[in-house]
Amino acid sequence: MTDLREATQDDWRWLLAESAPIGGQQIVSNGVLHTLSDYDAVVAYAGNQRVGFAVFRLDLPEAELLAIRAVAQWGGVGTQLIRNVEERVKAKGAQTLWLCTTNDNISAIQFYQRRGYRFRALHTGEFQNVLRIKGIDPETPVVGQNNIVIRDELVFEKSL
């Protein structure tokens, strides 16, 4: 059974280390640089072991999911995390939860759509801006998941 808790200081050390596969401690969405530790987070536990996390921010009447990671996919942890975030932000007055991902992340695109998220926007070529904001040469080609060059930012949203 998975237990979801607000992140503690100890959780944050683990969370920030575990954020590397999903972009690191700094996330760029819609052209804005966010440092994960500046926001709220939920951590999933299986017994005493951390198995996932979600980081989110409120900007009423919306909320943004900045990062989500299940250490092992296909076990339901990601679904539990996103549902928990939806409940938390709705209770605080958010009417919509939105998030960004990249064009290479086919599993995330499927994950969000299966959970009721719809396309809100496509920012073609936006990944060059992400690299620029992170201090990386924007002409550097980045090959992501499924051997796809990362170029675009996809925005999904769900009404709560």
pLDDT in tens, 5-18: 999 999 999 999 99
Q: Give the global pTM.
A: 0.92
C-alpha–C-alpha distance, residues 131 and 108, integer Å: 20
> What value does the mean pLDDT of the chain take?
94
Q: Max alpha carbon distance in the chain (Å)? A: 45
Domains of the chain: 2-159 (3.40.630.30)
144-to-134, 147, 152 alpha-carbon distances in Å = 17, 6, 12
Nearest to 29 by CA among 61, 8, 57: 57
Q: So what's the pLDDT on residue 140? A: 83
| 37 has a pLDDT exceeding 90 | yes
Give pLDDT tens digits for 62-98.
999 999 999 877 779 999 999 999 999 999 999 999 9
